[in-house]
Amino acid sequence: MSTSTPTAHASTIELAQPAPDALAVGSAVTVKLKVHCTEGCDLHGSQITVVPPDGWVTTSPLERFTDGVNESGEIVLNAPKSVGEHFWSFSLALHADNVTHDGVLHLGIKTRAQTSSLAVWSIPSPVTTGENFEIAVGAKSESGYPLAGTAIEVCDQDGTVVGRAKLGDTPWEGTTALYWTPVTLAAPTALGMLTWSVRYTAGGAELPHDGSSAVFSFVVAAPPEHQLTVRVAAEEGPVADAQVRLGAFRGVTDAAGVAQLHLPSGHYDLMVWKAGYQAPVRSIEVGHSMAVDVEALKLPEENYDTHWQM
């Protein structure tokens, strides 16, 4: 009894679309494969063996045969959690109807550290020389990876670290991955505008991350000596929620149209702003506790229909 020798059909495996040159660690990308047989065989339903860098072998079927080409569905490639070059292999080893099909594709993709971004907010204006003040700092990973417990540093204008903290366990309200923390800092003794920086070192993160930095500015003022009461009113009555500003000192009027600010002696330009109102800028000299009345003019509402009248 004779046994016939199997016929070998040459077959090749290739990507339907180019793979990215690099992936962030811990991220994923999907690819599709095309299998060509020199004899034009319909191989749909056959399994492609996938060997990822971690060695956990899986299979994926060829789902369709169109115009002489066999195509797979989407195959998810999960990038390892380490930076470097990693390899996946895809192979076909089919023996059916006394015909063999063999094909192999080796795919190398580099992985890089995830990027991060920083935000700084809730910066008081001004801060009082020699006293503590608090800011909020948040960091976010490009993939939304949780950064809870990782470290940030605050540096002064000379690059000296003046504060350290770890990001909290809960993202900032309204966000999905901006992990944040309050940071208490000591104001310097020198007066004036200063620019400091925040650094995210990614220390303690399970996935490698590139560090990032952000700058923030604030004004250092002398301790307040006087209370300034600003009363804002229009013809129809008190103006609530008006922004009051004297240099770095700011306030908001209450329901009675009153804002109270504490500030040191000096010359200031008093500015009052609210949408729909107009108030002149006033120059005042503060040498004692005092009250100032500001008359605001309510602006007429714009009639947008007039733009369409002919």
Confidence of residue 50 (pLDDT cuts 50, 70, 90): very high
The pLDDT of residue 310: 37
Distances (CA, A) of 58 to 16, 18, 91, 95, 214: 19, 21, 11, 19, 44
Domain boundaries, the chain: 7-112, 116-221, 226-298
**In the predicted model, is pLDDT for residue 309 greater than 80?**
no
The pLDDT of residue 302: 64
Q: What is the pLDDT of residues 129-175, one digit of tens each?
A: 989 999 999 999 998 999 999 999 999 999 999 999 999 999 999 99
**What does pTM read for this prediction?**
0.71
Instruction: Identify which of 186, 277, 187, 266 has the alpha carbon closest to the alpha carbon of residue 228.
Output: 266
The pLDDT of residue 306: 47
Class of domain 226-298: mainly beta
State which CATH number among 3.40.190.80, 3.20.20.70, 2.40.37.20, 2.60.40.10 fits the domain covering 7-112: 2.60.40.10
The Cα 128–Cα 249 span in angstroms is 11
Same fold, 7-112 and 116-221: yes
**In the predicted model, is pLDDT for residue 89 greater than 60?**
yes
Confidence of residue 190 (pLDDT cuts 50, 70, 90): confident
DSSP E strand stretches across 167-281: 179-186, 192-200, 212-221, 226-234, 237-238, 243-246, 249-252, 258-263, 266-273, 277-278
Please spell the DSSP secondary structure of 227-238, one letter per residue: EEEEEEEETTEE
**In the predicted model, is pLDDT for residue 229 greater than 80?**
yes
Q: Say whether the peptide bond before residue 126 is cis (omega within 30 degrees of 0).
A: yes
The pLDDT of residue 93: 85
What mean pLDDT do residues 12-39 have?
94
**Mean pLDDT for all residues in the chain:** 91
**In the predicted model, is pLDDT for residue 307 greater than 80?**
no
User: Superfamily assignment of 116-221 in CATH?
Assistant: Macroglobulin (MG2) domain (2.60.40.1930)
What mean pLDDT do residues 115-128 have?
93
Confidence of residue 4 (pLDDT cuts 50, 70, 90): low
Confidence of residue 3 (pLDDT cuts 50, 70, 90): low
- Structure tokens, 9: 């059909």
The pLDDT of residue 300: 85
The pLDDT of residue 1: 46
**In the predicted model, is pLDDT for residue 285 greater than 60?**
yes
**In the predicted model, is pLDDT for residue 232 greater than 90?**
yes
Percent of the chain with pLDDT over 90: 78
